[in-house]
Amino acid sequence: MEKIKLCCAKCGFTIEEYTAEELATVPRKEKRYKYLKAKSSICPSCLASGRLAETRVTVDAATGPAPKAAPASSVAAPIAHEVHAEGDTPMMDAMSTGHFPSHAVELKKTRYPAQMYEQALQQRRTQWGYGGYVSLPGVASGVLVRASARPEITKGSNFVRIMDPCGNFFSTKSMYALCDIADKYAYGLLHLLSTGGDLELLGIPTENLKPAVEEITAIGFDIGSTGDDYRTSEECIGPAKCDLTLYDTLGLREAWYKRFLDDVQYPRFPHKIKCKFSGCPNDCVRGCQKADFFLCGVYRDAPKINQEKVSKWVKDGGDIATVCSRCPGKCLTWKNGDGLKVDNDSCLHCMYCSNKVPGVRPGDDRGVAIMVGGKLRGKFGPMLSKVLVPFMKAEPPDYKEVFDALERFTEVYDANARKKERVGDFILRIGIDEFYRLCGVEPVPQMLAQPRTNFFTHWEPEEVKDERRL
């Protein structure tokens, strides 16, 4: 069996490895092989830049390759943390009073520069900003930097993103180990379950980055999700707790990592790509608002109605009239004796009745809608996702049809977008009809109706003249 390796021309570090059979039979691997050979890359080991060298090795299929010698572990750098005088923190002190636990008290127990938080409270804006990336051998996507607006307090800090387990089910042993690493190398703080669906280790001095990353990977976690790659995906709790979920979000995310891990750890796209998976149109992960590629659980048949449960809910005081009048599709009717009826031709499958009325649950013809282009920030401001595929079956365990579609859409974006242009901005520039054409998708009327239409609106009382509307 012939193995083909793409290695750093300077240090020989293996970037990717394939077999001749894989390149002949797996189109995705063949495309990535050609992409890496033709492009100048940065070696994650020695940080040398240039074209990759190709080596071919014949391996006995029975015995396998000779085992590699384990690399010598790096000696941890001396722990170095900036020492600052605390100074006066009147607002933090005020937050520390009272009978209830205070995060201000706990923050002062760590090595976090408390004056940064005090100044943020006094000025009503954060004293941290985006500071770019730090290159680190072994971490191709780099490490994020938080820039300081107050260098007299602290110069800045690095933080790493850790890919968390699906459903965020950390074992106690793993969490203790991560806390020990945070205490040893960083501020002693963990940012748990960020909006990007990862765990962040905050405040690592540059000289401690390499040993910290080595210890994190040694306990079984991957580092990544920075740069122009697939960012760490986020999924709702799904079947682990919620009975409204329409597909296995946890299983799909696990399969997504197995298929796309290379593109999570090795940047190669015009800009970052965020993927989020919601089990139903309630969209608890806000994928419609924040994800470049969003998989939303949907169903096509009529909601299932348990008339006994609905009648009991009404008898106990449930306001069925209000539910029927506020149905977005105006498809619900209620009559004593006949029970609750739904007109499926008018139903938007928005989950409103399922959220409000016990005994109303989604139908059985379930799948996912693929949506693209959502974001909160960027060149042209916030954008909501557009429907690309209104319905597709999500078949475990590998979800091949869904992932093939995601890969096809990603290739269109990769080939046609400008540098640092998000998916939403790219679609705005070329037009959604042109994007459909490039993706080979035939527009249908269902693309014009989004799975979720009820967004939260916030306002201040003084903005509303008639306060009775509140």
Query: Are 136 and 212 found together in one domain?
Result: yes
Residue range of the domain that includes 331: 304-361
Whether residue 280 is found in the same domain as residue 401: yes
Question: By mean pLDDT, which of 130-144, 147-161, 406-420, 444-458 is the weakest?
Answer: 444-458
Q: For residue 170, tell me if it sits in a domain.
A: yes
Looking at residues 274-289, what average pLDDT do you find?
A: 93
Query: 59-73, 183-197, 211-225, 302-316: which range is least confident on average?
Result: 59-73
How large is the angle between the packed helices 172-185 and 209-218, nearest 10 degrees? Answer: 170
Report residue 196 as tokens.
């990007």
Residue 405 lies in a domain: yes
Whether residue 142 is contained in a domain is answered as yes
Do the strands 332-335 and 339-342 form a parallel or antiparallel pair, or are they unpaired? antiparallel
Q: Of 336, 361, 386, which residue is a domain's last?
A: 361
| Mean pLDDT score across all residues of the chain | 84
pLDDT, tens only, 346-369: 898 999 999 999 999 999 999 999
pLDDT of residue 451: 44
State whether 341 and 388 are in the same domain. no
Judgement on whether residues 266 and 330 belong to the same structural domain of the protein: no
Say if residue 79's pLDDT is above 70: no
Residues 164 and 270 in one domain: no
Q: How much is the average pLDDT of 87-110?
A: 88
In terms of Cα–Cα distance, which of 222, 161, 229, 167 is closest to 196?
A: 161
pLDDT, greater one: 224 or 72? 224
| Any domain includes 84 | no
Whether residue 293 is found in the same domain as residue 335 = no
Q: List the structure tokens of 376.
A: 């909160």
- Report how far apart the first and last C-alpha atoms of the chain are (Å, whole number): 72
Domain count of the chain?
Answer: 4
Residues 184 and 283 in one domain: no
Q: In a 3-state reduction of DSSP, which class is residue 94?
A: helix
Task: Please say which residue of 318, 340, 361 terminates a domain.
Answer: 361
Residue 455: its pLDDT value, please?
A: 42
Burial letters 66-75, b for 16+ CB under 10 A, else e: eeeeeeeeee
> CA-to-CA distance for 210 and 217, rounded, in angstroms?
11
For residue 29 the two structure tokens come to 């691997």
CATH number at residue 383: 3.30.413.10
Amino acid letter, residue 409: F
**80-91 per-position pLDDT tens digit:** 433 434 458 899
Residue pair 304/357 in contact (Cβ under 8 Å)? The answer is no
Is residue 31, in this structure, part of any structural domain at all?
yes
Residue 461 has phi, psi (to 5 degrees) of -55, -35
Q: Which of 18-27, 81-90, 215-224 has the highest mean pLDDT?
A: 215-224
Residue 270 preceded by cis peptide, ω within 30: no
What proportion of the chain, given as a percentage, has pLDDT over 90?
48
**Based on the domain organization, do 434 and 289 belong to the same domain?**
yes
Same domain, 28 and 153: no
Asked whether residue 308 is domain-assigned, the answer is yes
Question: Rounded to two decimals, what is the model's pTM?
Answer: 0.74
103 and 37 in a single domain? The answer is no
Q: What is the CATH number of the domain that holds 322?
A: 3.30.70.20
Q: What tens digit of pLDDT does each residue of 384-423 get?
A: 999 999 999 999 999 999 999 999 999 999 999 999 999 9
Give a yes or no: residue 240 inside a domain: no
* Residue 129 pLDDT exceeds 50: yes
Integer Rg of the chain from CA = 26
3-class SS at 57? strand
CB atoms within 10 A of CB 165: 16
Q: In this structure, are residues 48 and 7 in contact, taking their beta carbons and an 8 Å threshold?
A: no
* Of 149, 145, 150, 121, nearest in space to 133 by CA: 145
To the nearest 10°, the Cα dihedral for 313, 315, 318, 322? 120
Residues 309, 389, single domain; the answer is: no
| Comparison of pLDDT for 458 and 425, the residue scoring more | 425
Is the per-residue pLDDT at 466 higher than 60?
no
- How far, in Å, CA of 85 to CA of 266, rounded? 40
Does a structural domain hold residue 231?
no
Same domain, 209 and 332: no
Structure-block tokens of residue 301: 């048949």
SS3 223: strand
